[in-house]
Amino acid sequence: MFAFIVRRLLLSIPTLFGVLVVVFLLLYVAPGDPVQEMVGERADPETIARLRKELHLDEPLYSQFTHYTGGVLRGDFGNSYITQRPIITDIRERFPKTLLLAGSAMLLASILGITLGVLSARNPGGWFDRLGLGVAYLGISFPVYWVGLILILIFAVMLRWLPPSGYGGIKYLILPAFALGSRSIAFLARVTRSAMLDVLGGDFVRTARAKGLTERVVVVRHALRNALIPIITVLGLDFGYYLTGSILTETIFSWPGLGRYVVNAITRRDLPAIQGSVLFLSVVFVLVNLLTDLAYAKADPRVAYS
């Protein structure tokens, strides 16, 4: 297992290096002068020249890349052009909020999606199965921003049960978590139903029932555990997506997470903030995929890593 983890981490180095190169080149692909963005149009030439020297922008490209890579390896992503705050400080403040939102959405999706899929598989073709498939199709078809706006309209504007936006207690978390997890609820329900139908027809399930075990034990302890591999795959991919792609949800609900931070950075052309956020989220996505692979062996002992 340890050798597998080390090998996967080593294989991720070329991917992260490629992301580092692309992120670094954003400074030169994006239109406009970054120094001019910092100081404004009325700055004198002496100030502009001094800042270019401090930022190493007057050096050759390879030298600038060396400086940038060295800073990244030290955990220094530079300072924001707008606020002059260290970007790593902004990430430390905002990423826990994104993690909270992503974890809540995934917990909600796991409970509702897996439960819906299991109940549908127990009685295929029944009214609950048809209802579950209908809900799944609707959940996959509707985009996240549309779901978020509908939730705000119903539960915040019409019923006044929950706040429409902001950050605070659990009331502020319910609507964005449900909006972010709506697609996963639908997709997990379909994947769980398909996997459970394959497993429930297996010989070991018939043997468990022949031993006199209750239906609950047969479904949860035997069938569901053997159907977990595709479910874990969906959970891992979606959780990585939630952590790295919750931009729309955080913007709609004014959630002060890393996704909204990236949107604000793009709006204000704050290139160092964009670079640091993209690089950090790339590392997070690689780590989530690694944890997903490790979860396979925990769910199914037949999976072994050498």
Residue 149: how many other CB atoms lie within 10 Å:
14
Q: What is the pLDDT of residue 304?
A: 59
Q: What is the pLDDT of residue 217?
A: 83
Q: How far apart are CA 47 and CA 35, in angstroms?
A: 9
Residue extents of the structural domains in the chain? 2-73, 96-299
Q: How far apart are CA 148 and CA 146, in angstroms?
A: 5
Q: How far apart are CA 304 and CA 149, in angstroms?
A: 45
Q: What is the pLDDT of residue 31?
A: 66
Whether 91 and 82 have beta carbons less than 8 Å apart is answered as: no
Instruction: Give every CB contact of residue 66 below 8 A, 6+ residues apart in sequence.
Output: none
Token pair listed for 172: 């502020």
Closest among 73, 97, 9 to 289, alpha carbons compared: 9
Closest among 188, 200, 184 to 124, alpha carbons compared: 200
Q: What is the pLDDT of residue 213?
A: 80
Amino acid at 265: A
Can you list the pairs that 85-89 forms with residues at least 24 positions away whose Cβ atoms lie under 8 Å?
Answer: 87/272, 87/273, 87/276, 87/277, 88/276
CATH of domain 96-299: 1.10.3720.10
Q: What is the pLDDT of residue 238?
A: 84
Mean pLDDT (10-residue bins), the chain, 306 residues = 76 86 78 66 72 75 84 85 86 92 91 89 83 80 86 92 88 92 88 87 81 81 81 84 81 90 83 87 86 74 59
Whether 175 and 152 have beta carbons less than 8 Å apart is answered as: yes
Q: How far apart are CA 177 and CA 239, in angstroms?
A: 12
Q: What is the pLDDT of residue 30?
A: 67
Q: What is the pLDDT of residue 152?
A: 93
For residue 86, the 8-state DSSP code is B
Instruction: Give every CB contact of residue 230 below 8 A, 6+ residues apart in sequence.
Output: 191, 194, 195
